[in-house]
Amino acid sequence: MTKLLLSSALALSLIGCVDNVKESVLPEYNTKIPEQIMTPDKVETRIGELNFYDGVPTQATVQKVYDNLDYLRGIDVFLNFIPACNIEGMRTGTASLGVSKYNEVLLMDKLMDSKSLFLTGNTDTVYASSFFDLSKTGPLV
């Protein structure tokens, strides 16, 4: 019987100790988050001020970023199509010299110099040019 009382008293005292430890720990999340990884409320960029609320961009900020993305994609398209525009310029230039059929070839008899209007022409290369209109001739091998 004394063993039972002693065991019960020991168990109650341990429960009381655990309860005291439990009270010393705060029940809410209170870890300090470093400021360096937090999204600020305002960010100055080259496209203007971007505003955030609790790390989420405002509608105006979202629109501003998408407008900038559209602008950058337009620049990308422009830069990627410079070679295609150059080829079209070469085709129309070749046609203006009378070489417009698939079986005609324009052969440059002189090397290029600074007066040449080729976008990427080399001054030590002899150029020959011909263009095919496959809608007129069909497939060519």
Helix (H) or strand (E) run with residue 96 in it: helix 82-96
Q: Are residues 87 and 115 in the same domain?
A: yes
DSSP letters spanning 32-69: PPPGGGSPPSEEEETTEEEEEETTEEPHHHHHHHHHHH
Q: Are residues 69 and 105 in the same domain?
A: no
Give the gyration radius of the chain's Cα atoms: 38
pLDDT in tens, 14-49: 665 554 455 556 656 677 888 888 888 999 999 999
Residue 98 lies in a domain: yes
Q: Are residues 87 and 131 in the same domain?
A: yes
For the chain, what is the domain count? Answer: 2
Q: Are residues 87 and 72 in the same domain?
A: no
Residue 44 lies in a domain: yes
Domain containing 132: what range? 82-136
Residue 49 lies in a domain: yes
| C-alpha to C-alpha distance for 44 and 69, rounded to whole angstroms | 17
pTM for the full model? 0.54
Q: Are residues 71 and 86 in the same domain?
A: no
**pLDDT band at residue 138 under the 50/70/90 scheme:** confident
Q: Is residue 63 predicted with pLDDT exceeding 60?
A: yes
Last residue of a domain, one of 64, 80, 96: 80
pLDDT in tens, 69-88: 999 999 999 999 998 998 89
Residue 101 lies in a domain: yes
Residue 9 lies in a domain: no
